[in-house]
């Protein structure tokens, strides 16, 4: 079990079983995310109702003030609050709240530990009315109640509970100076704070009357007791402060719990960071050989092969693509789970994207003799803005699933404009098939990770059961929603509804980039510096460069890439991000620094594996212009990049 998972489990187990009242509240809007058994008992709400509530449902504070304290707590400006909370039977109780910001299920949340101080509040009120009643309450309270004379700074009263707190009897404490029961640091803080509080209170600041401190007190045996001290000024008939009334509570165990929670949080974050780094490295190691296998399989298919060789090569290609799909699913799922996946918006034509996806899955459908039809709403006469690569991933996944689970019949994809307002178009993309269908009892779980329609040991379809979970995660990242309707033996329909920004640009004219590029190549040679250390990737890129008028110069280390750039004249650089000796980001930064002195700007295209979300900003900062993801499976991908960045003027 990973450290991250174990830490999370320990936290949730502690949260659920702890006797203290605990809530998890989303910091931006106050939504209650979780409540432990003690909270359910205190407030009188069952767990399922609690998790539908907002903190404003139980907090009698004004809405504006709720937003303010949520913000203060989230930004760690304050961690202690006193509120009036409403319980289920209508009773109002006074509570003190200690907060700590954490991440819960990907949400920024506040971990709240709540103490019922209703009796304590009533005790304070009783003190003002009757000293005798006050003494009765204080002597029976588990908290230490004390009074200090401001003029002499001597204790005039200490409740018997002090013996349980620091080992001294009340009479012993009464004879001690304050500094003898506090640590030196705590005494210094109080000595600095008290005059400021007194001055502010006497100048009319009512908020200065009561304050809270966390102080270290010295036990009789020499140990340190961490305490929370609530203090308030008591005044004479003229309103002048003459005494300080305080309540001291032992919070040593609470602090230990908070430390344990913070440690678990740090361990979870460290484990997530380690996992992200591992994924970045392992993706590079997996995708690099996959680049060679798929690439050379493609090159073989362009040559003269016998029928048997074509069959064998097709098996290699199909198996490699299936393995790549599994790798992609696992890495995408990990990034979604860790909230590391980011969307990158560009303007694009929806019809072109769907046409491209259909072209990609055509070979699969033809093997099973399935027809694919596409209906595009005539109202969608505009470009849209979004992450077209991730949208492609969603549609490919839905179409691939439809093909996988359909043995005969047809598949239909539709793109419909549901509504449009304020330059936002709500577009539904649906994929319908005539396949095996999904059992009604499985509809609620098919979007869960590792869930498969057929999870028997004799299943006919492969896969890790991550595809639809990833689709759901991507759709939700795009502020959309996904649904499914299905009937056993008649097929399924998956619907994805996503809001897209409408782009002002006109739809692009249809063109043939390969033909246009080849026309340019009749009179232009492209000089390419390829910084790549993997032999197979180099051989593959060099091999298909022969189809075009490209001259490839290889550099197998970062240092060699810098030297060859200095010595040669190139039109474009393809740079492996993890090239040895000096990585691709460092090489790009050096080249850009050289260009600042000499002028010019050569396009630098990163060749990257599946990387953590921050790398997109990292390659832009280093001076790279764009990136391609391994494996590069056909010549058209690189051709389009060269065509886009090389200036033939």
Query: The domain 120-250: what is its CATH number?
Result: 3.30.450.20
pTM of the model: 0.45
pLDDT in tens, 134-148: 566 556 667 888 889
Share of the chain above pLDDT 70, in %: 82
Distance of alpha carbon 326 from alpha carbon 332, whole angstroms = 10
pLDDT in tens, 589-615: 999 999 998 888 999 998 876 554 555
Query: What pLDDT score does 431 carry?
Result: 94
Secondary structure (3-state) at 614: coil
Query: What pLDDT score does 627 carry?
Result: 81
**Mean pLDDT in residue range 76-91:** 90
Whether residue 58 has pLDDT greater than 80: yes
The string of DSSP letters for 201-253 reads HHTT-GGGSEEEEEEEEE-TTS-EEEEEEEEEEEE-TTS-EEEEEEEEEE-HH
- What does the block give as tokens for 134? 């006050």
pLDDT in tens, 290-315: 767 777 777 777 778 888 888 888 77
The string of DSSP letters for 477-516 reads HTT-EEEEEEETTTEEEEEEEEEEEEESSPPPPP--HHHH
Q: Give residue limits of the domains in the chain.
A: 3-116, 120-250, 268-337, 350-503, 515-645
Sign of the Cα pseudo-torsion (391, 392, 397, 403, in order): positive
Whether residue 341 has pLDDT greater than 50: yes
Query: What pLDDT score does 457 carry?
Result: 33
- What does the block give as tokens for 432? 């319908």
Half-sphere exposure at residue 526, Cβ-oriented, CA atoms within 13 angstroms: 31
Q: Indicate if 515-645 has the same CATH topology as 120-250.
A: no
C-beta of residue 575 within 8 angstroms of C-beta of residue 561 = yes
- 3-116: which CATH topology? Beta-Lactamase (3.30.450)
Other residues' Cβ atoms within 10 Å of the Cβ of residue 546: 11
pLDDT in tens, 218-263: 999 989 999 999 889 998 878 889 999 988 988 888 888 888 888 8
Q: Which CATH entry fits the domain spanning 268-337: 3.60.40.10, 1.10.287.90, 3.30.1360.120, 1.10.287.130?
A: 1.10.287.130
Q: Which CATH entry fits the domain spanning 515-645: 2.40.40.20, 2.40.50.500, 2.40.30.10, 3.40.50.2300?
A: 3.40.50.2300
Whether residue 634 has pLDDT greater than 90: no
Query: What pLDDT score does 513 carry?
Result: 46
Distance of alpha carbon 376 from alpha carbon 516, whole angstroms = 28
Query: What pLDDT score does 351 carry?
Result: 92
Sign of the Cα pseudo-torsion (534, 644, 341, 612, in order): positive
Whether residue 367 has pLDDT greater than 50: yes
Q: Which CATH entry fits the domain spanning 350-503: 3.30.110.40, 3.30.565.10, 3.40.50.10610, 3.90.79.10?
A: 3.30.565.10
């Amino acid at each position: 079990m990973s450290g991250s998972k174990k830490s999370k489990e320990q936290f949730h187990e502690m949260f659920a079983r702890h006797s203290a009242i605990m809530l998890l509240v989303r910091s931006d809007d106050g939504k209650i995310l979780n409540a432990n058994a003690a909270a359910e008992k205190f407030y009188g709400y069952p767990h399922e109702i609690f998790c539908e509530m907002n903190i404003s449902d139980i907090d009698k504070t004004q809405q504006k003030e709720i937003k303010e304290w949520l913000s203060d707590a989230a930004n760690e400006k304050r961690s202690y609050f006193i509120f009036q909370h409403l319980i289920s039977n209508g009773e109002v109780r006074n509570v003190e709240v200690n907060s700590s910001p954490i991440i819960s299920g990907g949400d920024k949340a506040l971990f709240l530990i709540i103490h019922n101080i209703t009796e304590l509040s009533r005790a304070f009120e009783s003190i003002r009315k009757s000293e005798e009643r006050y003494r009765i309450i204080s002597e029976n309270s588990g908290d230490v109640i004390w009074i200090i004379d401001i003029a002499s700074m001597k204790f005039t009263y200490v409740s018997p509970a002090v013996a349980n707190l620091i080992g001294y009897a009340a009479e012993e404490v009464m004879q001690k100076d304050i500094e003898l029961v506090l640590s030196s640091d705590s005494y210094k803080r109080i000595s600095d704070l008290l005059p400021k509080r007194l001055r502010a209170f006497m100048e009319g600041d009512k908020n200065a009357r009561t304050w809270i401190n966390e102080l270290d007190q010295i036990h009789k045996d020499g140990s340190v007791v961490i305490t929370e001290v609530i203090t308030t000024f008591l005044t004479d008939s003229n309103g002048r402060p003459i005494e300080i009334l305080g309540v001291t509570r032992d919070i040593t165990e609470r602090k230990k719990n908070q430390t344990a929670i913070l440690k678990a949080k740090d361990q979870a974050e460290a484990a997530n960071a380690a996992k992200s780094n591992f994924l970045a490295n392992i993706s590079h190691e997996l995708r690099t050989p996959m680049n060679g296998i798929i690439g050379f399989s493609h090159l073989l298919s362009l040559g003269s092969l016998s029928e048997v060789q074509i069959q064998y090569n097709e098996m290699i290609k199909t198996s490699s693509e299936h393995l790549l799909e599994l790798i992609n699913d696992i890495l995408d799922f990990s990034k979604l789970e860790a909230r590391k996946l980011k969307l990158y918006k560009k303007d694009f034509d929806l019809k072109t994207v769907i046409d491209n996806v259909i072209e990609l899955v055509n070979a699969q459908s033809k093997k099973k003799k399935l027809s694919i039809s596409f209906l595009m709403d005539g109202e969608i006469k505009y470009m849209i803005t979004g992450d077209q690569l991730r949208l492609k991933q969603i549609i490919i996944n839905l179409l691939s699933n439809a093909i996988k689970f359909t043995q005969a019949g047809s598949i239909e994809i539709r793109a419909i404009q549901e509504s449009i307002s304020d330059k936002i178009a709500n577009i539904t993309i649906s994929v319908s098939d005539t396949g095996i269908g999904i059992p009604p009892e499985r509809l609620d779980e098919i979007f869960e990770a590792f869930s498969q329609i057929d999870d028997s040991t004799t299943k006919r379809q492969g896969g890790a059961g991550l595809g639809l979970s990833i689709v759901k995660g991507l759709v939700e990242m795009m502020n959309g929603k996904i649904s499914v309707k299905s009937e056993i033996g008649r097929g399924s329909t998956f619907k994805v509804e996503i809001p897209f920004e409408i782009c002002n640009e006109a739809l692009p004219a249809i063109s043939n980039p390969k033909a246009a590029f080849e026309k340019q190549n009749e009179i232009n040679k492209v000089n390419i510096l390829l910084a790549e250390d993997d032999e197979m990737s180099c051989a593959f890129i060099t091999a298909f460069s022969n189809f075009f008028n490209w001259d490839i110069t290889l550099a197998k280390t970062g240092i060699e890439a810098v030297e060859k750039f200095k010595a040669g004249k190139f039109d474009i650089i393809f740079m492996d991000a993890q090239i040895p000796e000096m990585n691709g980001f460092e090489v790009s930064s050096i080249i850009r620094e050289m260009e600042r002195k000499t002028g010019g700007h050569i396009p630098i295209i990163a060749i990257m594996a599946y990387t953590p979300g921050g790398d997109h900003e990292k390659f832009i900062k280093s001076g790279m212009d764009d990136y391609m993801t391994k494996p590069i499976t056909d010549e058209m991908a690189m051709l389009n990049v060269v065509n886009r960045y090389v200036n033939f003027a």
